[in-house]
Each structure stands twice: as structure tokens, then as C-alpha cells.
Copies of this chain bind each other. A is one copy, B any other.
Amino acid sequence: MPELRKDPILGRWVIIAKERAARPTDFRSGTVHPSGGFCPFCAGNEDKTPPEIMAYRKDGSAANGPGWRVRIVPNKFPALRVEGGLDKSGMGMYDTMNGVGAHEVIIECPDHHLSPVALTDENVEEVIWVYRERLTDLKKDSRLAYGLVFKNVGAIAGASLEHTHSQLIATPVVPNLVQREMRGARDYFAFRGRCLFCDMVQQELMTESRITHETEEFLSFCPFAGRFPFETWILPRKHASHFEALSRAQAKDLAVHLKNMLRKLETALEDPPYNFIIHTTPWNEPEIEEYHWHIEIIPRLTKVAGFEWGTGFYINPIPPETAAEFMRQVDS
């Protein structure tokens, strides 16, 4: 069972995932992530993953065989495990608990495509819809507090397999960063009486120079204080605190929007490594006015070095206005 440990200074949680690496020497430089030719995510290799949690599949096709369009399986090397209780305890001055949670992999398509850009609009729509289904289901487990959907593309961004896939990790505590975002958004709401993110949508529409893409339901822009070159956020135009309240019509619009936005990034930066993260409201909160779910896409082109680790400051060598102008000029 993985162990959760809390840093006593910042309240930051760390997962000590003992089962992931066998020996300290596995971390000697150059020995991580060997690549092979075989793909366990391709149709026909269903027995090479743990049994599926669910799938969208052709009527009549059997679980754990071909015939699926989108398939969800438990992560083979999970950071957190679904079994057992939290068993919070102290170790001297430190706090610890069991690594209870969920760690699922969303295999986005049966063929060996490397990017959602290569998929049909309908396929991407089903991927987005399955995020919603899994979050809605996991939310019912009272031991869990937050669900994070994310995607790592490229080895530098932390991907170990290239077949396009996303991940969902549900945690037993509201993560530190999410708590800080909630606090910041609530402070703004207390001061202005308006949602910070709704104000950002208005501000970006008025300023125009940071906008990268627009559809009926969503707005993409390079955020004013973006940490990374070409960092891009996608916000629903209408206020909504929880991603899982998404309507099917919004999922359809988001599929097209996301594909276009990723195509622009891939074209402009020639297939960059990137992370894609859905930020949403914790599960113990009802629909609220203060927080607004959104997607953050961070291309991983610059290195995070000592200055960033020591301060939480970031150095972005491309003004967001310049990055946005560049992306607007790319065909999507």
C-alpha cells in the first residue's frame, strides 16, 4: 500500500509509492524509461492491461476484448490504491495516512494514434464524456475528496507510453494547490462580489491580444501571468464550478475546441511535450459561485530550475501576447 506523508512546513502531501521502483540504483542516470515496440493500449492487446473498469464499445462486444472505442483500465503501477481505510496516524512530529485513492488510465482510441488531433470529433467527445462519467462515479466514494484528470504527452512531460491516453487520480484529501486556488478565488469573490474566472473571460474578450481560439461555449487564451511559453487555458464562457456538470452539447463543443487548440500547439511548436490538466471544484463543495472549472495546457519547453524550486516564481521568456499572436496565425 502506498503511504501518504505530509510536509510539516507547507502541508504538501507526498505519495511514497514503494511498489513503483525496485532498487535505488534504478534511478542512476540514463536507466529510466526504456522504450519498446509493443503497445499494451492497442486493440487486440486487452489482456496486457488490468481488466477494464468500463468502455464504450460496439453492442455485443465482450469486455476485455476488441470492439471498444474508449477504454478505462486501472493503472498497472498505481500511485494510490482503492482498497482499505485511511488509517491516519502520527510518526513522531510527522503525519501519515494510507495511500487510498483511484488511479485510472483512459485509453482514448483503439488504434496507435499519438495525439487527440488525429482522432475524429466524435471520438474526442466520447473521451471528454468518459472523464465526466468516471468523476461522477468516483465522487460517490466518501473516502475520496478530489478527482484530477490530466494528460502527459512526451517523455519530458512524464509520459511512459505514446499511445494517446489520459489519467484520472482521485485523492483522499483536497490537494494543497487546489486549496490555495479555492482560497484565492474566494478572496477575490469576497472583495469584488464576482467570480474571478468570469472576470478573466470578460477581461480577455475586451483585451483580445491574448486570445488564441473561440467557440460558442469555450474561450482559449494565453494567461496574463503564464508560467511557461505558450501556456494556454481553456475556460467555459458560462459560469460552472464543477467539470462533471458538463452538458453533452458542451462536451461536443469542447471536443472541437480542444482538437483545434492542440493542433495549433503541435503545429506551432512541432509536437512539443505538454501536460493538460483539468482544474475543478473539490467534491465536498456544492455548485458554487466562486470557482470556475477550466483546463490548463502547459507545453514543457523550458526547464524548471533552482530559482523556480526556491521561490515559486517562474521565468517565461515569451510574453503571452506574442505567443497568442503566433498561435492565432497558425491554421487549425
Contact = CB atoms under 8 A, between A and B. Distances in A.
Nearest to A168: B307
Contacts of A299: 27
A315 B79 contact: yes
A288 interface: no
Contacts of A60: none
Interface stretch (A65-73, A116-124, A220-228): A220-228
A293 interface: no
B305 A158 contact: yes
A315 B15 contact: yes
B176 A312 contact: yes
A105 interface: no
A46 B177 CA distance: 44
B275 A305 contact: yes
Contact of A7 (B20, B177, B206, B223): B223
Instruction: With a 10 A CB-CB cut-off, give which of A28, A185, A272 has the most chain B CB atoms.
Output: A28
A125 to B, nearest CB: 21
Given A24-B229, A27-B229, A10 B306 contact: no
Shortest beta-carbon contacts, A-B, top 5: A158-B305, A150-B306, A177-B312, A175-B311, A21-B317
